[in-house]
């Protein structure tokens, strides 16, 4: 017989879940998934050195930041949400000033992606997860 694990609801869990539910910041939610973040960290550590990395759906720029930490020659951050652009620019300001980061406000399905023609790798925080919700299949046809 299978047992059901019941997690006791505490005030901490209740308030944390309310904050997450109100949050429109998916990047924050994604950062709370340690297995996924460790996997991306390991991947970027392995491949970033002296490469051009595209952070597609950059959000807050966390993937681009990791790539830069591991020696990326250049990072191209792309997001369709205009509210994300100043966040990326603030988070990666020093690298932008050094000429290591480009930030583009683009619709990856309909706009030209000529800016990524020299990319070595394209990362997206949820490749393999929510492929249809994030329109990854449609975006892939435009790359």
Per-block average pLDDT, block size 10, for the chain (143 residues)? 46 51 51 75 95 93 94 96 92 95 93 94 69 56 62
| Whole-number pLDDT of residue 24 | 47
What angle do helix axes 62-69 and 84-91 make, rounded to 10 degrees? 20
Element (H, E) at 36: helix 34-47
| Whole-number pLDDT of residue 86 | 93
- Quote the CA–CA distance of 134 and 64 in Å, as a whole number: 19
- Give the pTM: 0.72
């Amino acid at each position: 017989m299978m047992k059901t694990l019941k997690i006791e609801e505490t005030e901490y869990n209740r308030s944390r879940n309310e904050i997450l539910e109100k949050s429109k910041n998916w990047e924050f939610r994604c950062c709370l998934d340690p297995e996924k973040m460790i996997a991306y960290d390991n991947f970027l550590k392995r491949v970033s050195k002296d490469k051009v990395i595209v952070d597609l759906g950059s959000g807050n720029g966390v993937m681009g930041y990791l790539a830069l930490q591991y020696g990326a020659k250049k990072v191209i951050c792309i997001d369709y949400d205009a509210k994300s652009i100043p966040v990326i620019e603030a988070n990666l300001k020093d690298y932008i000033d050094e000429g290591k980061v480009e930030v583009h406000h683009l619709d990856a399905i309909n706009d030209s992606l000529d800016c990524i023609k020299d990319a070595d790798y394209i990362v997206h925080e949820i490749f393999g997860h929510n492929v249809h919700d994030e329109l990854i299949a449609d975006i892939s046809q435009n790359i």
